[in-house]
Structure 1
Amino acid sequence: MSGLGAAAQRAAVRLLAVICASATRHLLQQLLPDTAGLRCLHWGCGSGEETFLLSSLLTEESSWWAIDEDPVLIEAALQQEARHSGASVHFAQSFLSDWRPERPYDIIFSGPRALPLPQLRVGLADLQRLLKKGGALIVAAFPFSGWRAYPYNYAFASAVDLIGRLEESRSSEVQQLPELLKRNGFTAIETLYAPPAFIPRTGNRIASLFLESCREEFLQRQWSNREELNALLEELREFEQREDTLVSRPGVHLMLARKT
């Protein structure tokens, strides 16, 4: 991935966490009415925005670890940690396969990043290893094709279609998640859903960030050329900055599965 693509991906991850955090927290409150004394891991924590919000659900007796493979995002999370003096979160840069805690976790949470299933497939054996028996894996996900903008804009719709096509080509559909978990030894799957909602204007640039971060893959697959993508990005960014632009996020699916 190019430097611009990597920077766009990091910015998209941070923005996505902020956009979805309140919906995710609301659903977690319903799934986890009792959080006393829990050991929790946030896998793919990004720069920590979502982690701090979710950690506020836990009691003082609980503990929360957060890991991400991207050292730049973890550095940003550690900088934020200094501004959250009341939060008890332990951040570390690590691949899931390399993470070796002293004891297994009661809960592992993976937030609603774009295109989550390929990473989840690879990590399921490690997730089983890191969870205690009866522990819960909680995955938040959504279909990128569910993003909407008002008024209608060709560039926005084209960007969502392109990213949705990439999502489909990677077998990343949210609907596949329950069956994937069952095939890998998880049971008692519960699903909650937060419906689509408009996002603050500060989040409007989410589509252009994801389009920029996926640009090289679109070119490699020959779904577009560089000139077309540049023109699409220019029109999309102009639309995102308009005062009358409204963007709606997709519905968020939160799935809880138990380790047998």
Structure 2
Amino acid sequence: MSRPRSPAVSAAVRQGAGVAVATGLYGISFGALAVVAGLSVAQTAVLSLLLFSGGSQFALIGVVAAGGTPLAAVTTSSLLGVRNTLYGAVVSPLLGLRGWRRWAAAHLTIDESTAVAVAQRDPRAVRAGFWATGLGVFVLWNACTLLGALAGDALGDPRAWGLDAAAGAAFLALVWPRLATRSGRLVAGLAVLVAAALVPVAPAGVPVLAAAAAAVVVGLLSPAPGTRTGGDR
């Protein structure tokens, strides 16, 4: 018999499901904007399935819509996508996966799945939160992308529907409890300072990448979930 699900695991799954819904709905705007930018419905769906990184996807169609070259679109998209590699350095030792599961987890290592995973304290909850969020976002994001692509430009500006705020609101709700700890405030403060300093002088994507790198470095130097420290309670 399998062990009953612990309260921590249940909470992590609920948290992941909530984040997945908020993030997945934003895929409608991506699908609509991608078609307006000149991609076909099939191209939009395949891009979302294979790239599966919201920031990188929006960056790519933004360059395409502005008349940029394919090389410029891929370069800009890749620059933002590098942050997912940094996230992998954090979640890989927490998940401890091997074989095909490791490859599957790599594809699902995004902002949301990483954030939910590292927010947990129990090792089982870390894994449950990661998979619930990653799989939930993947299914809903791609379904909503297809829906948005089929709708085309009928939706108009996605900001009029409030979809641009949904993912941000979900992320703020997720991050807020982490600011109760000294290490959480240090990571958030450092990331904000790095990003704010680079926004006026760096190309698009660099501030996000640099802030993510700074946060990952601090995270790697901090105790793993479940490790007790004297000054961080």
- TM superposition score normalised by structure 2: 0.27
Higher relative contact order (CA 8 A, sep 6+): 2
Q: Which has the higher strand share?
A: 1
